[in-house]
A and B are shown apart, each in its own frame.
Chain A
Amino acid sequence: MNHKHLLDTENRWVTTKGKAFLSDRVVMHGKNLHTELGDYEWLHLYLFSILGRDPGKNVAKMLSHYWVASSYPDAAIWPNHVTALAGTVRSTASLALMAGLSVSEASIYGRRPEVRALDFFYRAGQWCDGGGALTEFVEKEKSAGRILYGYGRPMANSDERIPHTLDKAKELGLDKGRHLKIAFEVYEHLKEKYDYSINVAAVHAGLAADMGFTCQEYQLLLTPGFVAGMAPCYQDARDRPEGSFFPVRCSSVVYDGPAKRDWNTPR
């Protein structure tokens, strides 16, 4: 490899994704944004922009439900807490929400568990296609020390979103897929053997696998997912006295490091 291929794109970028012909028209994946896509619901358009195809209204409605069902206006939840801190110090709206969104790409909730759970169900399906037993696959993953994303939940024993999500999937005719079934079969095994709960990441990922999203598409689709819960948390702290969002007194930082020492003591 060398630099030669860089010459091809130094002054020219050929794409099928789209382009803004300013003062004329805007094209997204071959369609005119204003005349052909102008009636789309925004989330439906977001799906189209990522997938390059229209997955249909039911898929858009299902994804919309993911977002609605995870829009928690509760400033205790970590990314929302960040937006509230931005509010209490009078930072701007965009900075607050972008900081909160970037913190949503986390390991104990949000993007990593979602991506890993989707990947897990695809690999589980392949394992079963090869003639293996699902429980064997789960145990193999577990014995490798891997976290089984979508099972167990920090701070809570159950997930209030699951019945609503399943109702919505049923309403939209998306509840009979193979991977959603796998998600619950894995839960039954883990519940029986290890007393694990199931959280909505497993249900969402099972459905997402049945809808055929790749892991990268899924990560992009869900990226703005918590934003509707963040905005009110920002406003709430912004509208109250400066610095008053859960202030921390000196003694609330519990120190367990080295004892006091003199900088001038010879090392």
Chain B
Amino acid sequence: MASDYLYYSNIWQEEPEESNPFAAKACYCSGYDVYGQVVPQASWFEYLLLMLKGERPSEAETKLIEKLAMVLANPGPREASVRAAMNAGIVGTNHSSALMAALAVGSGQYGGAQEVSICMRLWQECGHNLELWKIRLFRPEEDERADIWLPMEHAPGFDPNGDDTPTPILQALDYLTSLAPSNGALVWLKQQRSALEEEVGYPLAISGVAAAALVDLGLNQDQGNMLYLMLRLPGAAIHSLEQKKRGWKQFPFYGSAIELADDTSPVQSPIQDNTAK
């Protein structure tokens, strides 16, 4: 008896064990035997690009994605998605809750995956046309309609809270560019960085570097969004675990920093709000 319900995939194929139709005897990814050949012979990043693109990547592509993954692996404990995961860590919630928190916060339009998606869409529209970039960076929306995502409040790929381009951004751009195709997005971005920064009034952000690298890897904006989300999770995970160990007493609780602007009834209790509920 077969199921009435079918899933379709051009990525994954499984052959069942004779004894159990729900257990796989062999799994194939885009035609390659996963457990027989891919796991023993491919690197993690070759396999990742194979899954995303359906074809084995070149050595150059594999190197570029590996180094991009390292650039993104840990945004550090100051970054919003990692802070979200740390908040989950210190309260002793589920590990998946920590990563869900990191994914939700890391999805945003200020430094998050949605910003990367928008950048990648602009790459499709603007390519290497500097004048078009100068227009679209200030008006990146697809149209005037309201959406579940808010309108962008800054030029995508740049940091409105920045002054000069931070050194790690320049180091990442320089190194990734050295691995990238000579006529690609990273090379062009490196060439035009100063002109673009001058136009928008603030420096390039890691989201802008990542978007260009993802374009050079031949990924579309949906693939780029997913990959950016995934590649930043290691930092969220390790800092969540670290803070779980340290505990909430060593973690900032902003109670006394939050002030009510129009409080008509000042605090009467002698007990200060410096402990968590």
Query: A and B, one complex?
Result: yes
The answer to whether A27 and B147 have CB atoms under 8 Å apart is: no
The answer to whether A253 and B38 have CB atoms under 8 Å apart is: no
Q: Which residue of A lies closest to B200 (CB)?
A: A1
* Residues 145-203 of B contacting A (Cβ, < 8 Å): 145-148, 150, 154, 160-163, 201-202
A244 to B28 Cα, complex, angstroms: 25
The answer to whether B10 and A21 have CB atoms under 8 Å apart is: no
Partner of B255, one of A22, A94, A116, A249: A22
A123 to B144 Cα, complex, angstroms: 10
Number of interface residues of A (CB under 8 A): 62
Partner of B14, one of A94, A99, A250: A250
Q: Which residue of A lies closest to B254 (CB)?
A: A13
- Which among B96, B145, B162 has the greatest number of chain A C-beta atoms within 10 A? B145
The answer to whether B146 and A215 have CB atoms under 8 Å apart is: yes
What mask results when residues 240 to 277 of chain B are scored 1 for a CB within 8 Å of chain A, else 0? 00000000000000110111111111011101010101
**Interface 9-mer from B29-37, B61-69, B111-119, B120-128:** B29-37
Q: Min CB distance, A30 to chain B, in Å?
A: 6
* Residues 65-113 of B contacting A (Cβ, < 8 Å): 94, 96-97, 100, 104
Q: Min CB distance, B183 to chain A, in Å?
A: 22
**Interface 9-mer from A169-177, A185-193, A254-262:** A254-262
Q: Is A50 close to B, CB under 8 A?
A: no
The answer to whether A112 and B161 have CB atoms under 8 Å apart is: no
The answer to whether B258 and A254 have CB atoms under 8 Å apart is: no
* Residues 114-147 of A contacting B (Cβ, < 8 Å): 115-116, 118-120, 123, 146
Q: Is A246 close to B, CB under 8 A?
A: yes
Please classify how large the interface on chain B is, using the bins under 10, 10 to 19, 20 to 34, 35 or more. 35 or more
What mask results when residues 222 to 254 of chain A are scored 1 for a CB within 8 Å of chain B, else 0? 000000000000000000000000111111111
Partner of A112, one of B147, B150, B258, B269: B147
Partner of B9, one of A32, A256, A259: A256
The answer to whether A250 and B147 have CB atoms under 8 Å apart is: no
Q: Is A155 close to B, CB under 8 A?
A: no
Residues of the A chain whose Cβ atoms lie less than 8 Å from the Cβ of B255: 20, 22
**Interface 9-mer from B15-23, B130-138, B204-212, B217-225:** B15-23
The answer to whether A253 and B16 have CB atoms under 8 Å apart is: no
The answer to whether B2 and A11 have CB atoms under 8 Å apart is: no
The answer to whether B146 and A250 have CB atoms under 8 Å apart is: no
The answer to whether A252 and B147 have CB atoms under 8 Å apart is: no
Q: Is B52 close to A, CB under 8 A?
A: no
The answer to whether A115 and B12 have CB atoms under 8 Å apart is: no
Q: Min CB distance, B141 to chain A, in Å?
A: 13
Q: Is A267 close to B, CB under 8 A?
A: yes
Q: Is A14 close to B, CB under 8 A?
A: yes
* Residues 87-130 of A contacting B (Cβ, < 8 Å): 91-92, 94-95, 98-99, 102, 105, 111-112, 115-116, 118-120, 123
Q: Min CB distance, A209 to chain B, in Å?
A: 12
Q: A23-B269, A95-B97 are in contact. Are A257 and B147 (CB under 8 A)?
A: no
Contacts A19-B258, A257-B9, A263-B41 supplied; 14 other A-B pairs, CB < 8 Å? A2-B163, A14-B259, A94-B94, A102-B104, A111-B148, A118-B146, A119-B146, A248-B5, A249-B16, A249-B21, A250-B15, A252-B2, A253-B12, A260-B33
Q: Show 29 residue pairs from A and B whose CB-CB distance is below 8 angstroms, ordered by the A residue.
A: A1-B154, A1-B160, A1-B201, A3-B163, A6-B161, A13-B257, A15-B261, A18-B260, A19-B258, A22-B255, A22-B277, A24-B267, A24-B273, A94-B97, A123-B145, A216-B150, A247-B22, A248-B5, A251-B16, A252-B3, A252-B7, A253-B13, A256-B8, A256-B9, A256-B10, A257-B11, A258-B10, A261-B32, A264-B37
Interface residue ranges, B against A (CB under 8 Å)? 2-3, 5-16, 21-24, 28, 30-33, 37-38, 41-42, 54, 56, 94, 96-97, 100, 104, 145-148, 150, 154, 160-163, 201-202, 254-255, 257-265, 267-269, 271, 273, 275, 277
Interface residue ranges, A against B (CB under 8 Å)? 1-3, 5-6, 11-16, 18-25, 27, 30, 32, 91-92, 94-95, 98-99, 102, 105, 111-112, 115-116, 118-120, 123, 146, 215-216, 219, 246-264, 267
